[in-house]
Amino acid sequence: MSESVTGDRDLAGPVVGSDMGVDPSMLLSLRGISKNFGAVQALRHVDLDVPAGQVTALIGDNGAGKSTLIKAIAGIWEPSSGEKYWQGKKVDTHTPRDATNLGIATVYQDLALCDNLDIVGNMYLGFEATQHRVVLDEITMEKRTQQILRDLSVTTVQSVRQLVGSLSGGQRQAIAVARAVMRDAKLVIMDEPTAALGVTQTAQVLELIQTLASRGLGVLLISHNLNDVFAVADRIAVMYLGNLVSSGPISNYSMSSAVEFITTGTNARAA
């Protein structure tokens, strides 16, 4: 267990009987997740709860284990030990497909978009609507794409027939997120979505993140930028050297206490 957990524990899964004390109202719960790469222990006994309808920010310094953790959630790496619970039920996600089928969508930093395809092509990549299973049903795909972008209030793209290579960084991020939403994701994991963006585009992406949460989706946001975190997050989870050292509602943290957790793993001046 992560010994130095501070903040209130009411949302972090109180011990209630079965399933190692997993709160079934949580979208995703991790219990005792560890991951070793040879002698290196990248994750040590991580407990994390991600609720639906809220933005949970996962913060920490480089090498703290944030990426390892989300890859364990997304099914890219299997944890060496520990359990994953999806809506209170224990699950195994051995492959990225398993995680996708559960409703976990991961938007990686590289976004995994094909610049040479248009927005519709990217949104439906691998899941194309077809007639007779062979011929592309462009009309259905184009209408649905427009619908989803409108739902997510993505209004800056001129046409869904634009090549993704011609879009701005914020628009690309929006397309990657919209694609995840389209496939009925319940939890969207976003890895440093604003890292490469300017001020305006960052604002657009943060707005999009809030739209997702307000639509009842869980968002797990990995970020270095505490300004962004404090702007959108409902909850914070801090990682330090492979441990999850603190988690709780954002109201329990100030900018300086968050920085202290990130840099030292503890908060000496904790109230």
Site for another protein, rule CB under 8 A: 96-97, 110-117, 121, 125-128, 130, 133-136, 139, 142-143, 146, 149-150, 155-161, 163, 165-169, 172
Cβ-based nearer residue to another protein, 26 or 105: 105
The one-letter amino acid at 206: L
Is residue 35 within 8 Å of residue 244, measured between CB atoms? no
Beta bridge partners of 191: 222
Helix axes 169-182, 138-151, angle to 10 degrees: 110
Beta bridge partners of 55: 219
Cβ-based nearer residue to another protein, 153 or 227: 153
CA-to-CA distance for 25 and 22, rounded, in angstroms?
A: 9
Give me the sign of the Cα torsion angle 241, 187, 116, 197: negative
Minimum CB separation of residue 97 from another protein in Å reads 7
- The most distant pair of C-alpha atoms in the chain lies apart, rounded to whole Å, by 65
Place of tokens 């930028």: 225
Cβ-based nearer residue to another protein, 64 or 113: 113
Cβ-based nearer residue to another protein, 156 or 210: 156
Cβ-based nearer residue to another protein, 57 or 187: 187
Is residue 213 within 8 Å of residue 56, measured between CB atoms? no
Minimum CB separation of residue 209 from another protein in Å reads 20
Minimum CB separation of residue 135 from another protein in Å reads 6
CA-to-CA distance for 176 and 122, rounded, in angstroms?
A: 8
8-state DSSP, 163:
B
Cβ-based nearer residue to another protein, 65 or 121: 121
The token duo for 239 is 């990682």
Cβ-based nearer residue to another protein, 60 or 193: 193
Q: How many CA atoms lie within 13 A of 44 on its CB side?
A: 15
Pairing state of beta strands 243-249 and 187-191? unpaired
Minimum CB separation of residue 183 from another protein in Å reads 10
Minimum CB separation of residue 25 from another protein in Å reads 31
Minimum CB separation of residue 147 from another protein in Å reads 9
CA-to-CA distance for 216 and 52, rounded, in angstroms?
A: 6
Minimum CB separation of residue 228 from another protein in Å reads 21
